[in-house]
Amino acid sequence: SQTIHQWPATLVQPVGSPLSLECTVEGTSNPNLYWYRQAAGRGLQLLFYSVGIGQISSEVPQNLSASRPQDRQFILSSKKLLLSDSGFYLCAWTPRGRGGGYTFGSGTRLTVV
C-alpha cells in the first residue's frame, strides 16, 4: 500500500535561518507531489506541485522553494525564514493523471520566532 511520510512534525526556527522540510512517498511511482500551507485560521494554499523529477511549478511567489531530487521525494526549502512563513505545511500526492484522490501527509507545524 502507498504511504506518505513527512518530517519533522514540529519545528521552531529563528527568523533568517534556513528551512528544509522533507516528504517521501512509498508504494507508488511517478506520483504528482504537492506542498500546501495552512496559515492559522485560514484554508489551505497550494505552494508548489511537481509532476516529475526536477519539474516544479510554483503557485504563489514567496520566500520558499521546492525541489524533487528523486521520483518519490519532495523537499520544501527556504534560505532565510520570515515570521510570515509560520504555518502548518502539508505534503500530498496523487497518482499520475486526472482523477486521482489526494493523500496528505501528517503535516509539519513550523513556528518562526
Note whether 24 binds another protein by CB under 8 A.
no
* Rounded CA separation 22/89 (Å): 11
Query: Does residue 21 touch another protein according to CB under 8 A?
Result: no
| Nearest residue (CB) to another protein, 36 versus 64 | 36
State which of residues 21, 47, 94, 110 lies at the interface with another protein (CB under 8 A): 94
Nearest distance in Å: CB 65, another protein: 18
When the beta carbons of 67 and 104 are compared against another protein, the nearer one is: 104
Q: Could you tell me the CA-to-CA distances from 31 to 21, 87, 91, 111 in Å, in that order?
A: 18, 25, 12, 29
CB of 33 to another protein, least distance (A): 10
Q: Tell the smallest beta-carbon distance from residue 100 to another protein (Å).
A: 7
Q: Using CB under 8 A as the criterion, what x/- string covers residues 26-45 for binding another protein?
A: ------x-x-x-----xxxx
Q: Which three cell numbers stand for residue 77?
A: 526549502
Please give the sequence-ordered ranges of beta strands (E in DSSP) within the chain, or none if there are none: 3-7, 10-13, 19-26, 32-38, 44-52, 55-58, 65-70, 73-78, 87-94, 103-104, 108-112
Name the residue nearer to another protein (CB basis): 16 or 55.
Answer: 55
Contact at 8 Å (CB) between 48 and 35? yes
